[in-house]
Amino acid sequence: MSALCPKCGGKMEEGKVPVPLKYFMSYKSERQRHFSLDTNVEKAMACLDCGYIEFFLNPSVLKAKIKELS
């Protein structure tokens, strides 16, 4: 089963962030402090019709980083 684009309903193609950019593509929750580490983007999806892009990270890693703050 292929994923459908949330913007136009087109087919989404799975991919990844190239290694040199991987270190710049990360996410940090607003609840994390400035000195805490970002969570790396691990997967990407792109719509073959409209070009919409989604990025995915490991939710367990992000939850653990947020829990450290509690």
pLDDT tens-digit profile of 21-30? 656 677 777 7
Give the model's confidence band at 52: pLDDT under 50 very low, under 70 low, under 90 confident, else very high.
very high
Residue 34 lies in a domain: yes
Q: Sign of torsion, CA 45 2 8 6?
A: negative
The total number of structural domains in the chain stands at 1
Predicted TM-score of the model (pTM): 0.68
For 41, the domain range is 12-67
Residue 36 lies in a domain: yes
Q: How many helices (H) and strands (E) does the chain have?
A: 2, 4
- Work out the average pLDDT over 45-56: 95
Tell me what percent of the residues of the chain surpass a pLDDT of 70. 80
